[in-house]
Structure 1
Amino acid sequence: MALDRRAELGEFLRSRRARLRPEELGLPDYGGRRRVPGLRREELAQLAGVSVDHYVRLEQGRTLHFSEAVLDAVARALRLGDVEREHLYRLARPFTGPAEDEPQLVRPGLRRLLDSTGDVPAYIVGRNTDVLAWNDLAAALITDFGALPPAERNLARLVFLDDGMRGLYADWRGKAEDVAAYLRLDAGRHPGDPSTQALVDELSVASPEFREIWSEHRLKDKTHGRYVYRHPVVGLLDLGFETLRPADDPDQALIAHTVEEGSPSHTALRLLASCTTTAPVARP
């Protein structure tokens, strides 16, 4: 089963209406007598300068042929960020691509870059947060990806279903929200991919936390940031990360951690590297 884009579009727009406060937009709040939080459909349509019927048809997904002008107006009225705006466009336009059920192959250029990393943990992520390749330090830091069946080498599945991940991340909730946001963004890129819906269904059944976070319709692209790890062998590691994503192929990304030289985390990372028995090599 593929992603239901019409349902996804409606839920996304309703979630963004709900976060707007009428008083902040100069609209009456009717003495707090609103049945639902945020803006009504009629108010949103007025702010966007479109007819109520036109907006209702968009939110209900009756058609996926809306003009750029309408989508721009709705995005401005909802105060969407760049990532959210792109997501709206993907959901509200016809999808003509094939179902993405072919095996994912690591781009040769990214693999060469991964092969060149050795002093920092690095790995390659594909569609649906699948981990496609990694170096030894990434395996030592996060988990032994090579010991897992290929179907379980998935960040979303690991973060929400692997108990060890809850202890690994100092802010597990923040990591879980990030991963779910990346997964939802990817789902919008590939609405014809049945594996996306299968993964979402699996996590929704198995993890109450995933159901809660997924219902919030968070969106976030993986660019850069930091996570604090509580490693069972070397202790705390405060690591940044940078993402390299080819402009012509957004489906794969190289994630490389960074560390401040001379810091306690740098010392801990060097200790972790000394614990690995082989030279860092990219693993398929």
Structure 2
Amino acid sequence: MASSGSGSDFAALLRAWRDRLSPADAGFTVTDRRRAPGLRREELAQLAGLSVDYLLRLEQGRARNPSPQIVGALARALQLSRAERDQLYRSAGLLPPRDGTVSAHVPPGIQRLAARLGDLPIGVFTADWTLVWWNTMWSALFGDPAVVPAPERNLARALFGNGPARGSMLSVRSERGPDAFAASIVADLKDAVSRYPEDTQLDRLVRELRGTSDAFARHWTTETSAAQHTTDRKTIRHPEIGDILLDCDVLIVPGADLRMVTYTAATGSDGAGKLELLRVTGGRGATTPPPLSVADRCDRAR
């Protein structure tokens, strides 16, 4: 049952919190030509995965009854505290997320940290491996997650499902092998179920995959403990650049039950060069550059 809320209150909060958020904290370049200190409407729309027109209607109070998914995306994009997030939900006539369920709230400090590492692909996942935050380099490497329906932005569905998540995922090969990587994701889900037994969406995800994927069901039966994530080397097959060999690290966010996934490469390596190409081109129309000669490397080092 939804709580009472006012569309005008929701619109006013959106405008006020958009004006409050520094573009630099959200990962945007600040120039002297910017007239207002806060985010532009198109920037917030980009961060939340919404159209600018729909965001305009929300801020003007003309669009009513936003879904919980939209309110959650706006709360993350605006870098709200938990109390502010709950206030935004109530102003939209919705009940805030319950305690004891998988949280999709990304603390503002984590978003600011990730935004300052904008040269690296970074994605933030919840305890059930749903992608809830990513930067432009993540989109350049893996494709824009915003084009995939929100429920499908889940790594377990990408690995074991038959929906858009699987079709949208680029070919990723782990040096540990596909079976070990899949097993670690299932082990994480088993651990999440033990900690969030009342979460209906998590229960639905597990039931769905156990019923449709023999591989998931096999791992679910055999995996007995949560995986310890360590550095892994992965090859990502990019449609424009080709194979990119990168180090993948999973960083656990204490107190938030989130996983920050980062991809890096050693300075001067082929992977580093391809990441730089992705940063410059956004992954669109890029071609693999020829290897740098010794003279070129010396020039770049100066």
The aligned counterpart of 2:172 is 168
Q: Which amino acid aligns with 1:184?
A: K
For residues 1-284 of structure 1, the aligned pairs below 5 Å read: 99-100=100-101, 104-161=104-161, 162-163=166-167, 165=169, 167-169=171-173, 171-218=177-224, 219-249=226-256, 251-276=257-282
User: How much has 1:123 moved relative to structure 2?
Assistant: 0.9
CA distance in 1: counterparts of 2:208 and 2:140, whole angstroms: 27
CA 1:204–1:261: 2 relative to 1, 3 Å:
same
Q: After superposition, what is the alpha-carbon deviation per residue over 1:175-224, rounded to whole angstroms, capped at 9, x for unaligned?
A: 32222222222222222222221111111222222122222115303353
Q: Runs of 4+ in structure 1 displaced over 4 angstroms?
A: none
CA distance in 1: counterparts of 2:211 and 2:116, whole angstroms: 40
CA distance in 1: counterparts of 2:142 and 2:184, whole angstroms: 16
TM-score by length of 2: 0.53
CA 1:144–1:123: 2 relative to 1, 3 Å:
same
C-alpha root-mean-square deviation of aligned residues, in Å? 2.5
Does structure 2 conserve the Cα–Cα contact (< 8 Å) formed by 1:98 and 1:192? no
Q: Which amino acid aligns with 2:158?
A: L
CA distance in 2: counterparts of 1:255 and 1:225, whole angstroms: 11
CA distance in 2: counterparts of 1:222 and 1:130, whole angstroms: 17
CA 1:194–1:130: 2 relative to 1, 3 Å:
same
User: How much has 1:98 moved relative to structure 2?
Assistant: 5.1
Does structure 1 conserve the Cα–Cα contact (< 8 Å) formed by 2:140 and 2:282? yes
* Identity across matched positions, percent: 28
User: How much has 1:157 moved relative to structure 2?
Assistant: 1.0
* Number of residue equivalences: 180
User: How much has 1:119 moved relative to structure 2?
Assistant: 1.5
Q: After superposition, what is the alpha-carbon deviation per residue over 1:114-166, rounded to whole angstroms, capped at 9, x for unaligned?
A: 11122111011112111110011112222321111211111111222214547
TM-score by length of 1: 0.56
CA distance in 1: counterparts of 2:142 and 2:159, whole angstroms: 10
Q: What secondary structure sits across from 1:128 in the alignment? A: coil
Does structure 1 conserve the Cα–Cα contact (< 8 Å) formed by 2:234 and 2:247? yes
Q: What secondary structure sits across from 1:169 in the alignment? A: strand
Q: Which amino acid aligns with 1:203?
A: L
The aligned counterpart of 1:31 is none
Structure with the higher helix share, 1 or 2: 1
Return 5+ residue gaps in structure 2 as ranges: 1-97, 285-302
Query: Which deviates the most, 157-166 or 236-245?
Result: 157-166
CA distance in 1: counterparts of 2:114 and 2:250, whole angstroms: 12
Q: Which amino acid aligns with 2:173?
A: Y
CA 1:151–1:178: 2 relative to 1, 3 Å:
same
Does structure 1 conserve the Cα–Cα contact (< 8 Å) formed by 2:236 and 2:245? yes
CA distance in 2: counterparts of 1:175 and 1:160, whole angstroms: 12
CA distance in 2: counterparts of 1:125 and 1:138, whole angstroms: 13
User: How much has 1:99 moved relative to structure 2?
Assistant: 4.1
CA distance in 2: counterparts of 1:130 and 1:104, whole angstroms: 8
Q: What secondary structure sits across from 2:211 in the alignment? A: helix
Return 5+ residue gaps in structure 1 as ranges: 1-96, 279-284
Q: What secondary structure sits across from 1:129 in the alignment? A: coil
Does structure 1 conserve the Cα–Cα contact (< 8 Å) formed by 2:170 and 2:237? no
The aligned counterpart of 1:48 is none
Bigger relative CO (Cα 8 Å, ≥ 6 apart): 1
Q: Which amino acid aligns with 1:193?
A: D
CA 1:247–1:215: 2 relative to 1, 3 Å:
same
CA distance in 1: counterparts of 2:104 and 2:254, whole angstroms: 17
